[in-house]
Amino acid sequence: MTPSDPLPGAPPGASPGSSPESASDPFHLPALDGGEVEGLLGAGGRPVLVDFFATWCGPCAWIVPTLRALREEYGDRVEIVKVDVDEATDLATSLRIASVPTVILFEGGVEVERSLGVEPEKVRRMVEGAVARVAEVGASAAADGAADGAADGAADGAADGAADGAASARARTPARCPDRPEPH
């Protein structure tokens, strides 16, 4: 491979040492600094896929088409961002990023899975798994909510029935007055 050869699987215009963001496209992946990523992870919510890259890293450009395709396919169900390890050294150190590209999936602010090097199939499986887990949790929560609603409705109905029964019993029982003798 010569310096002018295109990178296999890289976006148009990418070359060894070029920035992965150099090619313009509608699915531009935001490059965040360490503090922004920590804030995003601390917010919980949807899964976050973080691509740790370096502008001087040729293979880092090779994973970008996969990340862009995943962002297009999954939209707002997963957050996909990039972090330049040379700009966010503290974050890279704290997460033990020893090589680039490294792609980490976080769920609820906790690292769930990591891909080292250019592994587009693994990264796709990571995202698909995260989206499926979120869908399962959502479906389970909806089912629990429906069951809770039915149980609440049944309890309310039972309480209403008991109250109605008690009122009916009171209506049939003559009122007693302490000053009057009991009827015989």
Active site residues: 57, 60
* Torsion sign over Cα 57, 62, 63, 69: positive
Angle between helices 64-74 and 120-172 (to 10 degrees): 20
Instruction: Provide the token pair at 106.
Output: 């976080």
The alpha carbon of 175 is separated from its chain's Cα centroid by a whole number of angstroms, namely 63
Phi-psi category of residue 13: left, alpha or beta, with phi > 0 → left and psi -120 to 50 → alpha: left
Instruction: Provide the token pair at 56.
Output: 């001087």
Rounded Cα–Cα distance for residues 178 and 173 (Å): 15
Contact 56, 19 (CB under 8 A): no
Instruction: Provide the token pair at 63.
Output: 């994973």
Neighbours of 41 (CB within 10 A): 20
What is the SS3 assignment for 140?
A: helix
Neighbours of 49 (CB within 10 A): 25
